[in-house]
Amino acid sequence: MRGSPTDRRPTPLPGRLRRTAFTAAPAVLLLPLLGAAPPAGQSSAASVRLQGAFGAAAAEYGVPRSVLLGVSYLQSRWDAHGGAPSVTGGYGPMHLTDARTALAEAPHHSEGTEDARGDDSRPPLVAEADLPEPSELPTRLRTLTKAAELTGLPARTLRTDAEANVAGGAALLAAAQRELGAEPSADPADWYGAVARFSGADDRATAAAYANEVFAVIRDGAGRVTDAGQRVALAAEPGLRPDTGQLSRAGLRAAAADGAECPTTVSCEWIPAPYEEFGDNDYGNHDLADRPTSQRIRYIVVHDTEGYWDTTLELVQDPTYVSWHYSLRSTDGHIAQHIKNKDVGWHAGNWYVNAGSVGLEHEGFLASPDAWYTEAMYRASARLVKYLAAKYGVPLDRQHILGHDTVPGPTTATIPGMHTDPGPYWDWRHYFELLGKPFGATSGKDSAMVTILPKYADNRPEFTGCVSGGEPCAVHGSSAVRLYSEPAVTSPLIKDIGLRPGGDDSTIDVNDLGSRVSTGQQYAVAGRQGDWTAIWYLGQKAWFQNPKAKPTAVGAAGLVVTPREGLAEIPVYGRAYPEAAAYPAGVPAQAVSPWPYKLLKGQKYVAGDRVPGEYYYAVSFDTSGHRVVVGEDLYYEIQFGHRVAFVRAADVRVLPAA
């Protein structure tokens, strides 16, 4: 049960020590921010109240305001999320954790009918495992309880009142400083050790990476309007140099980083997934390969775990389960690598994608699929993806940085069972800003192609099914934009005949991808009418609201495909496999297998890579029989629906969007 935000200030407690604000504490900007008008009906005084709460809590607990603001920014970007928990049960601007109520019933890959491997040449691998019961939640997932003890405030107040939450975070930082044997100080440089301890990390590298990120925020400064319309800003301190030597007194272990393939700017350890044989040629939980020498790495796939960190690590180390390359922890952005990037993980449900991708699992929970992700995890993930993209030549766009929800079902039968994470609440706009490739207009308002680009915080489509079927989800910013059959919200939603072969209507369920698009995806324009724009989508014209005053898409330039002359329709595929003649003796030919959809004459779809048909044959533990089969047939990847798809190059013309 989620609490609702309250407007009252936390009640001062009897006997609390009231400290005088440090005169040497860094100044906090109170200047209006660009576009920072408070929501309608909210007073200017209310819109800056959170800024004052940081100052008051800093003074009361003897923490420099810049440190408190910097930590909060890395946790939540100062957002309160209406009292809703994060993916790890963290609440409020300080991300105080109370994860008991957020534990999942089943991990991500144990849900539904998706074959994580997605290879027709082998029996389906449908993961069946329950999350191991943790004997005790780690301290990093119980910080709200400690904050309640330190402040005397009720846990519910710390969850639902943003100002109380800030006070709880300040109390935790002050306690961490005391535990290190350090004195309170007005100098932010003296708080490096406390910030590292606040992360909850149990190893030095992770704690240091977290603290470095916080102090980078303080040096650079920051300013934004929160999801509740509160103006918050932090003045830059470019000359700040923290005392990193404090970390030696924190009593943290050294992580096993040897063998991990990560940038130096993140904390990363090597926790290998097993490559083991069980007998009868059954083995797990990945395939050895020689990428990128043997075949290109074309994709990076973003998942969420639907499980808590420690139990997720247990699962990936189970040789009978599935696998992925990296796991990322929510509270501090720590990364564990499990499979070498040269090898193939079983994670995306489509063997063509698996064979050419690296899979990233982000800590998250099924019980709250509408919950939010920490800034620490977004930043660590972006640093890792930039590193991988540069190393393997992966373009930073939505046709190569895939969500699991945009990976296509390889065959018609698999479409309904494909997974839907990380879902409509993953902030793709912010993620690509962190990747250094922000989305924006590349053509005029009357362009023949658009990039979906709603403002995340203001874009709040209704969803159901986050907690129980049919029940409304909490109001939440979203990357998703809904599609209708006509330019009116009263018209039916677009149908997906692959997802619902019987022709049933799409729904607004949080896991129903049949009638929605996502930030950063690009589509060919099929028409405009007033505040509505139509695109080509799954072989039909689909309309979405795109008012000039509050646009959900911007003009784009690029290439599109359309059926070549003389063809009334062409097939669409969920994988780009070679033609039968390309397979050598001993390697069974794989069906190309068209989908039930058709790309019709006159329709256009945004074109991505032109790729050869390719299949990695790996069905035995002994790798001597593994083969990469490359055909003569060429394909174009296209943005066909919510998921990407493929068409034969011989079936289409490629044109500039016009």
Q: What structural domains and CATH numbers belong to the chain? A: 44-100+139-249 (1.10.530.10), 562-656 (no CATH)
Give me the pLDDT at residue 108, please. Answer: 64
Place of tokens 């007194």: 249
CA 440/CA 453 separation, integer angstroms:
8
CA 509/CA 471 separation, integer angstroms:
9
Q: What is the mean pLDDT of residues 14-26?
A: 33
Minimum mean pLDDT among 4-13, 234-243, 632-641: which range?
4-13
Q: Is 13's pLDDT higher than 70?
A: no
pTM: 0.90
**Which of 75, 102, 98, 1 lies closest to 308, judged by CA?**
102
Give me the pLDDT at residue 25, please. Answer: 36
Looking only at the bridges linking them, the beta strands covering 516-518 and 344-345 are unpaired
Give me the pLDDT at residue 5, please. Answer: 25
**Which of 167, 215, 241, 244 lies closest to 67, judged by CA?**
215
Cβ neighbours around 332 below 10 Å, total: 27
**Which of 574, 581, 571 lies closest to 632, judged by CA?**
581
How many helices (DSSP H) and strands (DSSP E) are in the chain?
Answer: 12, 28
Give me the pLDDT at residue 230, please. Answer: 92
pLDDT tens across 137-179, in order?
Answer: 788 889 999 999 999 999 999 999 999 999 999 999 999 999 9
Supply φ then ψ for residue 172, to 5 degrees. -65, -40
pLDDT tens across 178-226, in order?
Answer: 999 998 899 999 999 999 999 999 888 999 999 999 999 999 999 999 9
CA 100/CA 596 separation, integer angstroms:
44
Q: Is 551's pLDDT higher than 80?
A: yes
**Which of 589, 616, 602, 578 lies closest to 652, judged by CA?**
602
Q: Is 306's pLDDT higher than 80?
A: no
List CB contacts of 95: < 8 A, sequence separation 6 or more: 72, 75, 76, 86, 331, 374
Q: Please give the angle made by the CA atoms of 515, 604 and 573, to the nearest 5 degrees.
A: 70
List CB contacts of 568: < 8 A, sequence separation 6 or more: 600, 601
Higher pLDDT, 254 or 597: 597
Structure confidence at residue 32 as a pLDDT band (50, 70, 90)? very low
pLDDT tens across 483-501, in order?
Answer: 999 999 999 999 999 999 9
Locate 180 and state its tokens: 């290190």
CA distances from 329 to 36, 81, 367, 432 (A): 32, 20, 17, 19
Give me the pLDDT at residue 40, please. Answer: 42
CA 285/CA 135 separation, integer angstroms:
26
Q: Is 18's pLDDT higher than 50?
A: no
Percent with pLDDT over 90 in the chain:
74
Q: What is the mean pLDDT of residues 227-246?
A: 94
Quick check: helix, strand or coil at residue 52? helix
CA 226 to mean position of chain CA atoms: 20
Q: What is the mean pLDDT of residues 636-650?
A: 98
CA distances from 410 to 108, 484, 652 (A): 19, 26, 21
Q: Is 407's pLDDT higher than 80?
A: yes
Higher pLDDT, 399 or 6: 399
Give me the pLDDT at residue 11, please. Answer: 32
Contacts 24+ apart (CB under 8 A), 127-134: 127/321, 127/322, 129/315, 129/318, 129/321, 130/105, 130/106, 131/103, 131/104, 131/105, 131/106, 131/107, 131/307, 131/308, 131/311, 131/315, 132/311, 132/314, 132/315, 134/103, 134/308, 134/310, 134/311
Give me the pLDDT at residue 15, please. Answer: 32
Say what angle helices 143-151 and 162-179 make with each other, to 10 degrees: 90
Locate 283 and state its tokens: 């083995």
**Which of 334, 258, 272, 268 lies closest to 88, judged by CA?**
334
| Residue 159 buriedness (CB in 10 A; 0-12 / 13-18 / 19+) | buried
Give me the pLDDT at residue 22, please. Answer: 34
Q: What is the chain's Cα-based Rg?
A: 25
Q: Is 30's pLDDT higher than 50?
A: no
pLDDT tens across 555-612, in order?
Answer: 999 999 999 999 999 999 999 999 999 999 999 999 999 999 999 999 999 999 999 9
Give me the pLDDT at residue 202, please. Answer: 86
CA 345/CA 303 separation, integer angstroms:
13
CA 416/CA 113 separation, integer angstroms:
8
List CB contacts of 212: < 8 A, sequence separation 6 or more: none
Q: Please give the angle made by the CA atoms of 484, 490 and 494, to the nearest 5 degrees.
A: 20
CA 473/CA 533 separation, integer angstroms:
27
List CB contacts of 160: < 8 A, sequence separation 6 or more: 3, 4, 5, 6, 83, 91, 92
List CB contacts of 362: < 8 A, sequence separation 6 or more: 87, 302, 303, 304, 305, 327, 328, 330, 373, 377, 381, 422
List CB contacts of 530: < 8 A, sequence separation 6 or more: 487
Give me the pLDDT at residue 368, please. Answer: 57
Minimum mean pLDDT among 244-258, 390-404, 565-579, 639-653: which range?
244-258
Q: Is 125's pLDDT higher than 90?
A: no
Annotate 76-118 with DSSP letters as a single string: HTT--GGG--BTTSEETTTTEE-GGGG--SS-GGGSSS--SS-
Q: Is 37's pLDDT higher than 70?
A: no
**Which of 522, 523, 515 lies closest to 494, judged by CA?**
515
Give me the pLDDT at residue 89, please. Answer: 85
Q: Please give the angle made by the CA atoms of 421, 432 and 361, to the nearest 5 degrees.
A: 35
Cβ atoms of residues 159 and 92 within 8 Å? yes
Across the chain, mean pLDDT equals 88
Q: Is the peptide bond before 274 cis (omega within 30 degrees of 0)?
A: no
Locate 373 and state its tokens: 């992700």
Residues counted in the chain: 658
Place of tokens 């099929």: 526
CA 563/CA 540 separation, integer angstroms:
14
Structure confidence at residue 101 as a pLDDT band (50, 70, 90)? low
Structure confidence at residue 643 as a pLDDT band (50, 70, 90)? very high
CA 252/CA 528 separation, integer angstroms:
59
Give me the pLDDT at residue 4, please. Answer: 26
Diameter over CA atoms, the chain:
85
Q: What is the mean pLDDT of residues 451-473?
A: 91
Which amino acid appears at position 216 of this protein? A
On the CB side of 256, CA atoms within 13 Å amount to 7
